[in-house]
Amino acid sequence: MGPLMTNYSELFDLAGRRVLVVGAGSGIGRESALALAAHGAKVVCADRDAASAAATADLIGAAGEPAVLDVLDPNAVQAAAEQYADCAALVFTAATNVRKRIADYTLEEFDRVMNLNLRASFSLLQAFAPRMAANGGGSIIGFSSIRASVVEPGQSVYAASKAGLVQLARTAAAEFGPAGVRVNVIAPGVVETPLTAQIKDNPDWYGAYAAKSALGRWSRPEELAGAVVYLASDASTFVTGSVLTVDGGWTAVDGRFDPPA
């Protein structure tokens, strides 16, 4: 008798699994929730805004469940982890940015960016990873950014928060890996979401970012959803502590000038 063959048709099958998406009310979070549901998952659509969470759950239908969650409240995060202790995967996309030069930043702005982008991520890991470990495993997926590795003026605190998230995820992967919990982050480039509306409103700025990617354009939120499904599914059972870059080649290409030869 030969070795057991893997049924590759089921690699991305999430049937029977519950996934919690934090930030599901809009943008990448909403598209991720829709994509996970399309592959069979029961999706808890969590967002600080109740109406947005409900709208995403309505788009999904019977497999969607809205939830109000303020990730800045550690008690609320712990309560969610208890309520959804059976989650097979956790996705969190919530983030904010204040674009200012270092000399112009206030400490209040520093705290606002760090609290949502890094402290809340820590709270989610601290609450959910031990429960997943007790259940025999799971997948945790955060959202970093190309700004974790390449920067520009005005991105200091945002970049620091996203770089911090990478190391936080790697450490969680080390600590919870023996219990079967995988922890990874996705690093998008520029995505057309409410967070980047300020740039889109400036044609020169928008065009410069489009030209920086190898594909010559911005990404759409739905183009991040495949990476989320991959990391939540059995297609990635040996992937942990990784940064999955989805940036259209931005960080690969030194593209400020196209030489003649």
The residues that are catalytic are 158
Cβ-count burial 79-118 (b if 16+ within 10 Å, e if not): ebbeebeebbbbbbbbbebbebeeeeeeeeebebbbebbb
> What's the farthest any 2 CA atoms get from each other in the chain?
70
Contacts of 220 (CB under 8 A, 6+ apart): 191, 192
Rg (CA), the chain: 19
Separation CA 87–CA 44 (nearest Å): 9
**Helices 107-114 and 156-176: angle between axes, nearest 10 degrees:** 30
Q: Which amino acid is present at 85?
A: A
Q: Is 139 helix (H, G, I), strand (E, B) or coil?
A: strand
